[in-house]
Amino acid sequence: MNASAKINLKGYNLDELTAQMASLGKKPYRARQIYQWLYQKNATNWAQMTNISLALRTELAGLFDLNTLSLKNSMKSALDGSEKFLFELIDGNLIEAVYMPEERRRTVCLSSQAGCPVGCTFCATGIMGLKRNLSAGEIVDQLLFINAHIRQPVTNVVFMGMGEPFLNYENVMRAAQIFNSELGPELSARHITISTCGIIPGIKRFTAEDQRYKLAISLNATTDEQRNQIIPVNKKYKIADLLNTAKNYTRVSRRRVTFEYILIAGLNDTMADAHRLVAMLSPIPCKLNLIPYNANPQFPFRAPSEEHLNEFIREIYRAPFAVTVRRSKGLDIAAACGQLYVSGQIK
């Protein structure tokens, strides 16, 4: 078998690896060994799998590849220690992922697509358009590479990088399952967050399947008129329908949902917006993340002044749900919310 015909095992779950080994006449425990080497021990080549015989490793190396991406560049923030990784996929497409260290947790923000088809008007990734969905292996490899790069393993994963996760639903869920698996990185389901701009069919499927991962919804507006300006998909999935879908998710799952609200000066940051936001979200078991807009020279938007931001926050803090203000990390390396963008891949 020549190299171009090799199967890439990255992204295979344990059942699929077991089936592959069975097709070669190998025992099921071999699949468990390989699975653990791939996803827990960060093996990038067969030679590292020392509890497998040399003869078998040689045989497997001739049949299977293990890597889906390579590091093209990385940048570390001088402000907060965040690090942005630029990865090149086998077909030449480029994606970014961000590592964000904090005192008690280490979070990685993963991409689910090369580019993004949604075209939110405040987000740099949308300028790229959609190149393609990432495979489960390409999603998993982002975390594995970063885990191998840092001193202590990642504790939290957020699907908030390039792309809309619910437009690549199956591969995102497959990756999350690997992250959550006993022989994998062993991340708790409550430490894996999947964020959507409001793809209602995806939320409904997520609910019906009783997925245990956290759900976050980028709301970013209190009227359809506002939201239509910045999130084009709102023309198809209106705010009222989105909120009803989110409410049903909390009822069925008995879990609260997180709403993300990017504050943009003059667009969605008035006291009337604050009042509407409290009224809209109060009937839903939820948490609200307020995120001051991260300036980008490609867009006309700006963040509210600190004084106005504090006034908005004071009004929101009267709400019956939990409210946090999230200051984005990696601002000095264009790694913050809405800033991920690969300049060589414009549509």
Spot the catalytic one: 83, 96, 138, 164. 96
Catalytic residue among 116, 120, 123, 337: 337
What does the alpha-carbon distance between residue 62 and residue 60 come to, in Å, rounded to a whole number? 5
- CB of 217 closer than 8 Å to CB of 242: yes
Q: Active-site residue 337, yes or no?
A: yes
Distances (CA, A) of 238 to 219, 232, 274, 316, 328: 11, 10, 19, 23, 27
CA distances from 218 to 15, 35, 95 (A): 34, 34, 21
3-state secondary structure of 273: helix
* Nearest alpha-carbon partner for 244 in 279, 289, 280, 268: 280
197 catalytically annotated: no
Backbone angles phi, psi at 73, to 5 degrees: -165, 160
Question: What does the angle CA 282 – CA 285 – CA 289 come to, to the nearest 5 degrees?
Answer: 80
* Chain centroid to CA 317: 28
Give the DSSP letter of residue 73.
Answer: E
**The two three-digit tokens of residue 149, written as one number:** 């790069």
3-state DSSP call for residue 265? coil
Which residues contact residue 208 at a Cβ distance below 8 angstroms, ignoring those fewer than 6 apart? Answer: none
C-beta atoms surrounding 200 within 10 Å: 18
Angle between helix 28-39 and helix 136-149 axes, rounded to 10 deg: 60
Q: Which residues are catalytic?
A: 96, 337
